[in-house]
Structure 1
Amino acid sequence: MSTQLKHGETLARIESLLGDEAASLLEHQSRTIPKEKLHLPGPDFVDRVWALSDRPTPVLRSLQALFNHGRLAGTGYLSILPVDQGVEHSAGASFAPNPDYFDPENIVRLAIEGGCNAVASTFGVLGAVARKYAHKIPFIVKINHNELLTYPNKYDQILFGTVEQARDMGAVAVGATVYFGSEESTRQITEIAEAFAYAHELGMATILWCYLRNPKFKTPEGDMHTAADLTGQANHLGVTMQADLIKQKLPERNGGYLVLGHESPYGKTNKKVYEELTSDHPIDLVRYQVANCYMGRCGLINSGGESKGKSDLQEAVRTAVINKRGGGMGLISGRKAFQRPMAEGVELLHAIQDVYLAKEITVA
């Protein structure tokens, strides 16, 4: 079977999975921020973008290690398996659908067999199997978590270990979450900015989960935790903290500043954000997230979201198409992959990667 035919079959499968949205997502041409203004992913991304920055040489090596592994090696795109849910959402809630993943070795095996660029997980998971796997797939250690065992639940990200521990187990990068918009955000920003600066000193790359968290963001007009303007600003703050990669939820709406500022002043924005720099199209909303990552100088990886069962494959491929066509750098998808038999998880991860390997799917 020819490579061209394989490519054609891959595109046909992607179109089938997208269903009624196929034409809208695959043929959309952005009229907001031109793709020519973006620093787009590519095989030379580290040389073209990060080599011009203040990042120490060992950090460039660590970034290149991420880009050079798995099925997407050499493309400039990333497919990362994140499994920190055992802490974040409880091990029972996370692993009961497939108890095999109580064993951390299976998490790393899924990332390897799934062709991922890296595996992102906890000190406990990666530390338990470090000597067997740290040289076989890049490790990203998530250094803080929301433990959710405090009663009543308290939504805060706290450190679970040190940057030195991540370095000593062979990690090429550390990851962390900041809940922007929360009462604890000032401490978290300060804490993680210091941790990221130290990680760079030690030669590791940094990835920031730039999540919004405030109960008042849930409004009658919609949940503004996924508004493009607010998540875009969270991205901008994350890059300012010297994250090398930004993880962000896929935007589902816009106008967060406008809705939250309707009754009392909140933040600042500009009408051009809504009239010229964005539209209602999901690709244009992701494009605005990318623009806030210094026009793509810091890569945007969107999260895969929770597992919903039968629709997971379609949703994962849809998110990948939107991210790629918006100018993003890849997907970091966990629950959709590990809350099912390993063979099915591998198939889902490969389907995500196929979107980034398909040359027919271009930046809008």
Structure 2
Amino acid sequence: MDKKLLDLLKDEKEYLLEHECKTIPKKNLHLPGPDFIDRVVTNTDRKPAVQKNLQAIFDHGRLGGTGYLSLLPVDQGIEHSAGASFAPNPIYFDPENIVKLAIEGGCNAVASTLGVLGSVSKKYAHKIPFLVKLNHNELLSYPNDYDQILFSSVDQAFNLGAAAVGATIYYGSKESNRQIQEIARAFEYAHELGMVTVLWAYLRNMEFKRDKDYHKSADLTGQANHLAATIEADIVKQKQPENNGGYNAIDFGKTHRKVYEELTSDHPIDLTRYQVANCYMGRVGLINSGGASGDNDMQQVIRTAIINKRAGGMGLITGRKSFQKPMKDGIKILNAIQDVYKSDEITVA
């Protein structure tokens, strides 16, 4: 790992790299590794075709053979509007450049919409694993009601050669019951066809914002992860936790004092480990999201990757921090993330 990149952590360098997790011990986790399919996935009810596609994703890109994942997601043209997403770098209005960035950036797979991946599938579906996002929150309705609705089908993803499908559920929203049933059926069918399933397990409820934004609390996001694993997501995408105690602050649902006294601490690695624990102790891979682009993107992605890896997570899925820049700079961001997971010096806490 490039020392200059680690030096970007500044005062947090020792705090993150030397932390010892004393909450949930790493020996209890099913950690990522080159043998993850043989060690973990073969014990499940997944068909051989699902295992084959998951192995193809694990084997692709700069992290091929490590058991870790670096994914490029570009569904923001719908989720955040095309103008807001692509105006900083208009070349990405063209779907081919999205796929090129994923390939040149050494990613394991590229995740995007049916339209984006379908428009270039014959040229690229055999060159990098495709992940088709099935549902979206469209932002043109006024007022927007923040609902994830199906834009495409599992059959369409299969027919264009996708290795995987993805979807979002807004847990905590008034629409979540419908979304859970809808996506559970879609994931069941995707597994029947041999495709991998990836869930964006996000929280969405204005009541979750109190003295802090508990959409990013370890306890609430952890439960969202557990629900995602329940509908047989193979990989869970989750925002990295920034706080804890959402259940207690909002005063609803059920929790236990040991969640806060023994299973977590204030350290970000321990908070993220609680997310991993809710992914069946790592039997389902946890990938954290990269978030919006800003002034310190390189520092932020390295920090997020180190926390995820040391917590026992499986990787990062980073979009805006990479595609809202010139392609060469986006590639540097993606490669820096991958260097964290390739480094033997950065170990599970």
TM value normalised by structure 2:
0.99
> 2:284 pairs with 259, 273, 298, which one?
298
- State how far apart, in whole Å, the 2-side matches of 1:280 and 1:84 are: 32
- State how far apart, in whole Å, the 1-side matches of 2:5 and 2:299 are: 9
- State how far apart, in whole Å, the 1-side matches of 2:337 and 2:95 are: 23
**3-state SS of the aligned residue for 1:316?**
helix
Partner of 1:235 in structure 2? 225
**3-state SS of the aligned residue for 1:81?**
strand
**For the Cα contact (< 8 Å) 1:206–1:244, is it kept in 2?**
yes
Aligned alpha-carbon RMSD (Å): 0.5
The gaps in structure 1 that reach 5 residues or longer are 1-9
- Displacement of 1:19: 1.1
Partner of 2:45 in structure 1? 54
Partner of 1:215 in structure 2? 206
User: Structure 1, residues 206-228: CA drift from partner, whole Å, max 9, x if none?
Assistant: 00000000011111x20000000
**Percent of aligned positions that are identical:** 70
Letter in 2 for 1:48: R
- State how far apart, in whole Å, the 2-side matches of 1:162 and 1:297 are: 27
1:359 to 2:344 alignment: yes
Q: Which range moves more in the overlay, 12-21 or 130-139? A: 12-21
- Following superposition of structure 1 onto structure 2, how do residues 1-364 of structure 1 map, counting pairs within 5 Å? 10-219=1-210, 221-261=211-251, 266-308=252-294, 310-364=295-349
User: Structure 1, residues 26-47: CA drift from partner, whole Å, max 9, x if none?
Assistant: 0000000000000000000011
- Displacement of 1:273: 0.2
Letter in 2 for 1:214: N
- State how far apart, in whole Å, the 2-side matches of 1:70 and 1:163 are: 25
**For the Cα contact (< 8 Å) 1:14–1:355, is it kept in 2?**
no
**For the Cα contact (< 8 Å) 2:302–2:337, is it kept in 1?**
yes
**For the Cα contact (< 8 Å) 2:225–2:236, is it kept in 1?**
yes
**3-state SS of the aligned residue for 1:254?**
coil
User: Structure 1, residues 107-156: CA drift from partner, whole Å, max 9, x if none?
Assistant: 00000000000000000100000000000000000000000111011100
**3-state SS of the aligned residue for 1:290?**
helix
**For the Cα contact (< 8 Å) 2:6–2:302, is it kept in 1?**
no
- State how far apart, in whole Å, the 1-side matches of 2:270 and 2:193 are: 37
User: Structure 1, residues 316-345: CA drift from partner, whole Å, max 9, x if none?
Assistant: 110000000000000000000000000000
**3-state SS of the aligned residue for 1:174?**
strand
- State how far apart, in whole Å, the 1-side matches of 2:174 and 2:297 are: 33
- Displacement of 1:11: 4.4
**For the Cα contact (< 8 Å) 2:217–2:243, is it kept in 1?**
yes
- State how far apart, in whole Å, the 2-side matches of 1:80 and 1:15 are: 21
Letter in 2 for 1:13: K
- State how far apart, in whole Å, the 2-side matches of 1:242 and 1:136 are: 27
**3-state SS of the aligned residue for 1:295?**
helix
User: Structure 1, residues 221-273: CA drift from partner, whole Å, max 9, x if none?
Assistant: 20000000000000000000100000000000000000000xxxx11000000
- State how far apart, in whole Å, the 2-side matches of 1:160 and 1:169 are: 15
- State how far apart, in whole Å, the 2-side matches of 1:152 and 1:329 are: 37
- State how far apart, in whole Å, the 2-side matches of 1:124 and 1:18 are: 38
- State how far apart, in whole Å, the 2-side matches of 1:334 and 1:272 are: 36
Detail structure 1 runs of 4+ shifted over 4 Å in the superposition: none
User: Structure 1, residues 20-77: CA drift from partner, whole Å, max 9, x if none?
Assistant: 1000000000000000000000000011001000001100001101100000000000
- State how far apart, in whole Å, the 2-side matches of 1:27 and 1:276 are: 20
**3-state SS of the aligned residue for 2:200?**
strand
- Displacement of 1:17: 1.6
User: Structure 1, residues 341-364: CA drift from partner, whole Å, max 9, x if none?
Assistant: 000000000000000001000000
Letter in 1 for 2:228: G
Letter in 2 for 1:226: K
**For the Cα contact (< 8 Å) 1:284–1:326, is it kept in 2?**
yes
**For the Cα contact (< 8 Å) 1:11–1:358, is it kept in 2?**
no
User: Structure 1, residues 160-195: CA drift from partner, whole Å, max 9, x if none?
Assistant: 011000000000000000000000000000000000
- Displacement of 1:280: 0.1
Letter in 1 for 2:347: T
- State how far apart, in whole Å, the 2-side matches of 1:159 and 1:362 are: 39
TM value normalised by structure 1:
0.95
**3-state SS of the aligned residue for 1:179?**
strand
- State how far apart, in whole Å, the 2-side matches of 1:195 and 1:172 are: 14
- State how far apart, in whole Å, the 1-side matches of 2:108 and 2:179 are: 27
**3-state SS of the aligned residue for 2:207?**
helix
- State how far apart, in whole Å, the 2-side matches of 1:13 and 1:291 are: 32
